[in-house]
Amino acid sequence: MAVIRELYQHTLRETSLNITNSAIDSVMKKTIRKSGCRVYSDGFIGVAGTFGDPGEKTWAEAEERLKNRIPYAFEPEKNKRRTRDLRKLNISDEEFIRESEDLLRILKKEHPDFIFSHKIKICETEISLKNDAGLDYVNLDKTVEFVLLVKHKDSVNIIDSGLLRQGREFEKQELIEDARIFLEAFKIEASLPQDGKVPVIIEKDMLLSKISESLNSEQIGFGTSLFCDKINKKVFNQNLNIIQDRTGEEYHTPFFDTEGITRDGDVCYLIRNGIIEKAYTDKSNASRFSMPLTGSASGDYDDVPSLSNIRLSVVPGSKTLKELVNGVPSILVVMASGGDYTASGDFATPVQMSYLTDGERILGRLPEFYISGNLYDIFGDDFIGMSCDKPFMGERALVVKMNMNS
Amino acid sequence: MIHFPKDLYTDIRIETVYKTMILIENFQLKQKKVKEEKGAMIRIYDGSRWYYSATTDISALQAEVDKLAEMAKPNPFINSDPIVKKFEVNKEAMLKYQDSNVSKISAGEKQSLLDTYVPVVKEFPQIKMSRIYYLDKYTEKQIISSKGTDVKFDSQYCCITVRYRMQEGDTPHNGSRDIYEMEFKDLANRQDEIRAEINKDLQYCTKAVPVKPGVYTCVLSPVVTGVFAHESFGHKSESDFMVGDETMKREWQNGKVVGSQNLNIVDTGLIEGAGYVPFDDEGTKARTNYIVKNGVLTGRQHSCNTAMAIDEGLTGNARAVSFEYEPIVRMTTTYIEAGTQTMEELVSSIEEGIYIDSIKHGSGMTTFTIAPNRAYMIRNGRIAEPVRISVITGNVMKTLHEIDGFSNEVELFSFPLGGCGKMEQFPLSVGFGGPYIRVNGINVQ
């Protein structure tokens, strides 16, 4: 096989405002480019990395590392070109600082009992994979991220709540509206629903971690996954669809994996209508275990592409949060830190901060409590749905029933 | 030679990091990386706002300083600013690892060492997947400032790390063992440690049953004690949350009783390991700080900014994950001091309780959490059957009063993979540890 050179680059341009005591105390600017030079030859791969653009020295290092004889039995992708530019935001640093100062002024004025801290930042990323066999993929994205930690002035907690929002536009007005809804509700002490199973609206990654671990093709192939004997079987709720999502719905996620594999529509179904359809794979594991290639390779900029647990998404259904909850008092989890699954799929976590909601209004702040459930229940009979709307903080709402105890 | 802008405070942290990572995955060489990365963080302060820039172009530092200075407003009284006055001026070179520098050892020699650990893992057919790493890192930092600081120091570690996933029966189990040292020569011939850990995991995973949820008295092993100290009180003693907050200043006044009277919690950057920070990322020299002494709050961790805001002394806790980030208040090596009992004595008085042997992760705010990896029931004063636990939790301020036993020896730990996370800055290398401790009233799920 002829020597093929491939360049994987990740560039981050960031302007970030640190907020302390409800005011901007610092401005951070960074531009960091990281380049991974890959050389493929005779079934082996050599990789070398550098900050900035690579010179011949880095390419020579990559070629030298072919001598390590790290096997890579696959041809790099060839003759494919695509650029996806998801950037919308056009705001100067001066305007960004001015608008953020104005936002903080409004928050302080409208919510004098609260202290706001942490960050507002603009991140612009450019991720590219190019080789001399005609592959030329570029993904560009730019987002504004509000991560405002909120503390009541009389509280002895380090953090009481958070105002979190990420988008491709400067959603100042939306954040002001979030603050009105949540901080007014914060002052109302609501009562917990009775112990037992209740609808919980919760950040998806926390609950999907076990599914991601168990859908890893390497774990299935070596027989150490909970799902080893469940491929092509219906084990979850009929309405549950889980995908690897590389569409514009995800921020700063390129449409290609680190081996240059793409999927039609930038989506790959792994669980469809409750049936586990396939494991996620990179080229090596797809080949080793004769599984479909899903384009799930990852790795640092200067790694040999490899497989690790991926971020999954639940496909939204046709109902709004209001329709999913259907008037039943439900818990919107804002902070649930430290929970985990056991090896057999039992999940538990304390919920440090949450609100009571009817799916439309935020009714009040709840005290601390615990939630728990088993994987097959949470995404089986207790799965209620993923909302089609984004009712709170610009996010869709995952609703499941979980055991609650105070 | 950097020309610092007039009427502004400026400091620059230049980091040169040499790293090796060799990975044998399922007994096949998967990664072999040797690299040197260099970058700098520039900070400029005009008395009202800070301006930061992270750059990898070290050859153009002066231009980057000048560009950043254009954003600031020159202040002729900057040297009288209380924050600027608070900065220590240190001039010192503390290069401790020149003779044992891991960057001088060939990658081939490192791989040969790693290869000696592969047969141990192969001894166990129950291990279905494995990752065996050789990792090292040599870091040299230089911090210079317009106030006159010029410090240069180094740190390093090297380690063998084994991660494995085994299956006996229906349930998989993840296990790991790190051999973490400062010098390469100390990594050889430690196969028995790996073997012992794997055997422990095998025993555990073949017999573990789900725990009955409830409130128990727990005995924590030294590594769990360390994570508990870090998560339960370490984060609470990071003073940045107090700045501008009168309620917190009142709540966290020194002298407050926060724990049982034998409880002592220390944070120090002086101990070799993951939390070795002879100078923090603002150039402040390390010292030993008692956070809790005899159950009483006696100190907290500071950056220059927080020390000025709360009118306390510097502690050497301004740290950043890398040159890409600004320093914030972070722990170094945090541990609970030893008591007088033996581990057996701690366990012997417990009729029904739980021994937490190892952990997956922990977190801490008002409520701390620890996700155990191996745990065992204690029955009638003895360690009994293994149990599977999702998470143990407790209210920090209540739990510290519930510690009623400390064993007589402290063990300190460093993790080569992972570390402490605080918002976006993860993973920061920290050290932690303590003795075996007995804690009442822990919620077990």
The answer to whether residue B273 scores a pLDDT higher than 70 is yes
What does the DSSP assignment read for A185-207? HHTSBPPPPPSEEEEEE--HHHH
Task: Quote the CA–CA distance of A28 and B194 in Å, as a whole number.
Answer: 44
Question: Residues A127, A132, A133, A137: what is their CA dihedral angle, to the nearest 10 degrees?
Answer: 20
Q: Chain B partners of A119 at a C-beta cutoff of 8 Å? A: 423-424
Bridge partner list, B438: B219, B405
- 3-state secondary structure (DSSP) of residue B78: helix
Name the minimum distance, in Å, from the CA of B69 to any CA of chain A. Answer: 12
Task: Quote the CA–CA distance of A62 and A56 in Å, as a whole number.
Answer: 10
What part of B 297-336 touches A (C-beta under 8 Å)? Answer: 324, 326
Cβ–Cβ contact B1 with A under 8 A:
no
As a whole-number percent, the residues of chain B with pLDDT over 90 amount to: 90
Name the minimum distance, in Å, from the CA of B227 to any CA of chain A. Answer: 13
Kindly identify which residue of chain B lies nearest to residue A58, measuring between CA atoms: B35
Residue B30 has its nearest CB partner, among A159, A226, A304, at: A304
Task: Quote the CA–CA distance of A144 and A170 in Å, as a whole number.
Answer: 6
Best of A349, A354, A405 to disrupt the B interface (most B CBs within 10 Å) is A349
B424/A51 Cβ within 8 A? no
B424/A49 Cβ within 8 A? no
B31/A303 Cβ within 8 A? yes
Cβ–Cβ contact B261 with A under 8 A:
no
Q: Chain B partners of A343 at a C-beta cutoff of 8 Å? A: 171-174, 205, 388
Between strands A297-298 and A23-41, the pairing is unpaired
Q: Chain A partners of B170 at a C-beta cutoff of 8 Å? A: 344
B248/A339 Cβ within 8 A? no
Q: Cβ–Cβ contacts within 10 Å for residue A406, how many? A: 12
The answer to whether residue B231 scores a pLDDT higher than 90 is no
Task: Quote the CA–CA distance of B101 and B161 in Å, as a whole number.
Answer: 20
Q: Which region holds residue B37: left if phi is over 0, alpha if psi is between -120 and 50, else beta?
A: beta
At B209 the pLDDT is 94
Name the minimum distance, in Å, from the CA of B247 to any CA of chain A. Answer: 6
Which domains are assigned to chain A? Answer: 4-186 (3.30.2290.10), 196-206+316-405 (no CATH), 216-311 (no CATH)
B424/A30 Cβ within 8 A? no
Q: Chain B partners of A48 at a C-beta cutoff of 8 Å? A: 35
Q: Chain A partners of B371 at a C-beta cutoff of 8 Å? A: 338-340
Strands (E), B46-115: 50-55, 91-94
What does the DSSP assignment read for B150-171? EEEEEEEEEEEEEEEEEEETTE
What does the DSSP assignment read for A250-315? STT--SS-TT----GGGEEEEEETTEE---B--HHHHHHTT------EE--TTSPPEE-----EEP
Task: Quote the CA–CA distance of B124 and B7 in Å, as a whole number.
Answer: 66
Q: Chain B partners of A33 at a C-beta cutoff of 8 Å? A: 56
Distances (CA, A) of B318 to A16, B305, B326, B358: 19, 9, 9, 29
Q: Reduced to 3 DSSP states, what percent helix, strand and coil does chain B have, rounded to the nearest 5?
A: 25, 45, 35
Average of pLDDT values for B389-393?
93
Cβ proximity of A363 and A356 under 8 Å: yes
> Identity (one letter) of the amino acid at A375?
L
Phi, psi of A281 (to 5 degrees): -140, 155
Distances (CA, A) of B178 to B19, B43, B207, B297, B414: 17, 36, 24, 33, 9
Best of B13, B34, B365 to disrupt the A interface (most A CBs within 10 Å) is B365
Task: Quote the CA–CA distance of B408 and B262 in Å, as a whole number.
Answer: 12
Best of B232, B329, B391, B425 to disrupt the A interface (most A CBs within 10 Å) is B391
The answer to whether residue A225 scores a pLDDT higher than 70 is yes
- 3-state secondary structure (DSSP) of residue B347: helix
Residue A65 has its nearest CB partner, among B32, B39, B445, at: B32
Task: Quote the CA–CA distance of A312 and A244 in Å, as a whole number.
Answer: 5
Q: Chain A partners of B57 at a C-beta cutoff of 8 Å? A: 52
Average of pLDDT values for B60-78?
97
| B438 Cβ contact list (under 8 Å, min separation 6) | B217, B218, B219, B220, B346, B347, B350, B403, B404, B405
Lowest mean pLDDT, pick from B230-239, B296-305, B382-391: B230-239
At A268 the pLDDT is 98
Per-residue pLDDT reduced to its tens digit, A280-297: 999 999 999 999 999 999
Which domains are assigned to chain B? Answer: 9-207 (3.30.2290.10), 214-444 (no CATH)
Per-residue pLDDT reduced to its tens digit, A338-376: 888 988 899 999 999 999 999 999 999 999 999 999 999
> Identity (one letter) of the amino acid at A112?
P
What part of B 114-173 touches A (C-beta under 8 Å)? Answer: 128-129, 165-167, 170-173
As a whole-number percent, the residues of chain A with pLDDT over 70 amount to: 100
The pair of structure tokens assigned to B250 is: 């009142």
Per-residue pLDDT reduced to its tens digit, A155-198: 988 889 999 999 999 999 999 999 999 999 999 999 998 878 99
Per-residue pLDDT reduced to its tens digit, A41-67: 999 999 999 999 999 999 999 999 999
CA-wise closest residue to A142 among A84, A82, A205: A84
Best of B19, B22, B31 to disrupt the A interface (most A CBs within 10 Å) is B31
Average of pLDDT values for B162-179?
92
CA-wise closest residue to B393 among B230, B214, B273: B214
Reported ipTM: the value is 0.91
Burial string for A281-302 (b: 16+ CB within 10 Å, else e) reads bbbbbbebeebebbbbbbbbbb
A52/B326 Cβ within 8 A? no
pLDDT bucket at B251, cuts 50 / 70 / 90:
confident
The pair of structure tokens assigned to A204 is: 């998806």
Q: Chain A partners of B445 at a C-beta cutoff of 8 Å? A: 348, 370, 372
What part of B 364-423 touches A (C-beta under 8 Å)? Answer: 364-371, 388-391, 393, 423
Between strands A398-405 and A196-201, the pairing is antiparallel
pLDDT bucket at A1, cuts 50 / 70 / 90:
low
Residue B32 has its nearest CB partner, among A68, A306, A350, at: A68
Kindly identify which residue of chain A lies nearest to residue B372, measuring between CA atoms: A342
At B423 the pLDDT is 86
The pair of structure tokens assigned to A390 is: 């984004």
Cβ–Cβ contact B106 with A under 8 A:
no
**Can you tell me which residue has the tokens 């107090």?**
B242
Name the minimum distance, in Å, from the CA of B173 to any CA of chain A. Answer: 6
Average of pLDDT values for B144-165?
98
A24/B245 Cβ within 8 A? no
Cβ proximity of B142 and B125 under 8 Å: no
A338/B370 Cβ within 8 A? yes
Kindly identify which residue of chain A lies nearest to residue B68, measuring between CA atoms: A29
Q: Chain B partners of A306 at a C-beta cutoff of 8 Å? A: 25, 30-31
Length reported for chain A = 406
The answer to whether residue A80 scores a pLDDT higher than 90 is yes
Residue B369 has its nearest CB partner, among A222, A337, A343, at: A337
Task: Quote the CA–CA distance of A224 and A222 in Å, as a whole number.
Answer: 6
* pTM (two decimals): 0.93
Task: Quote the CA–CA distance of A391 and A398 in Å, as a whole number.
Answer: 11
Per-residue pLDDT reduced to its tens digit, B319-375: 999 999 999 999 999 999 999 999 999 999 999 999 999 999 988 877 889 999 999
Average of pLDDT values for B175-202?
98
Per-residue pLDDT reduced to its tens digit, A92-138: 999 999 999 999 999 999 999 999 999 999 999 999 999 999 999 99
**Burial degree of B367 (CB within 10 A; 0-12, 13-18, 19+):** buried
B235/A352 Cβ within 8 A? no
Task: Quote the CA–CA distance of A279 and A286 in Å, as a whole number.
Answer: 9
Q: Which region holds residue B8: left if phi is over 0, alpha if psi is between -120 and 50, else beta?
A: beta
Average of pLDDT values for B208-225?
96
> Identity (one letter) of the amino acid at B135?
L
CA atoms within 13 A on the CB side of A174: 17
Sign (positive/negative) of CA torsion A14, A19, A22, A23?
negative
B365/A339 Cβ within 8 A? no
Task: Quote the CA–CA distance of B353 and A393 in Å, as a whole number.
Answer: 42
Per-residue pLDDT reduced to its tens digit, A251-279: 999 999 999 999 999 999 999 999 999 99
**Burial degree of B398 (CB within 10 A; 0-12, 13-18, 19+):** exposed
Between strands A23-41 and B50-55, the pairing is parallel
Task: Quote the CA–CA distance of B16 and B155 in Å, as a whole number.
Answer: 11
Q: Chain B partners of A225 at a C-beta cutoff of 8 Å? A: 172
B50/A27 Cβ within 8 A? yes
At A86 the pLDDT is 98
